[in-house]
Amino acid sequence: MSSTINSYAYATLRPRSDGVITVRSLDFGDVVGFGVDEPVVYDGRLDLPKAAISRVRQIPGALPVEGFDLFLHTNAPPGSGLGSSSAVVVNTLALVAAHCGVDFTPHEVADVACRLERDDLGIPGGYQDQYAAAFGGFNFIEFLGDRVVVYPLRVSAGTVHELEHNMLLAFTGNRRTSDHIIQDQVSRYESNHPDALAGLRAQKQLAHAMKEALLLGDVRELGTLLHQAWEEKKRMSTRIATPLIDEAVAVALRNGALGAKVTGAGGGGHMVFICEFDRKHVVADELIKLGMSVSEFTFSREGVTTWRVQQ
- Which positions are annotated as active-site residues? 129
Distance separating alpha carbons of residues 150 and 139, to the nearest angstrom: 6
Distances (CA, A) of 66 to 18, 22, 28, 94: 6, 12, 26, 18
Distance separating alpha carbons of residues 42 and 34, to the nearest angstrom: 12
Helices 243-254 & 219-233 angle (0-180, nearest 10):
160
Q: Residue 136: which region, alpha, beta or left (left: phi > 0; alpha: psi -120 to 50)?
A: left
CB atoms within 10 A of CB 150: 17
Distance separating alpha carbons of residues 76 and 290, to the nearest angstrom: 21
123-144: b (≥16 Cβ within 10 Å) or e: bebbbbbbbbbbbbbbbbbeee
Between β-strands 4-5 and 299-300, what pairing exists: parallel, antiparallel or unpaired? antiparallel
* Nearest by Cα to 234 from 207, 261, 252: 261
Distance separating alpha carbons of residues 117 and 127, to the nearest angstrom: 9
Return all residues near 69 (Cβ < 8 A) that are at least 6 apart.
13, 14, 16, 21, 22, 24
Residue 2 DSSP one-character state: B
**3-state DSSP call for residue 69?**
strand
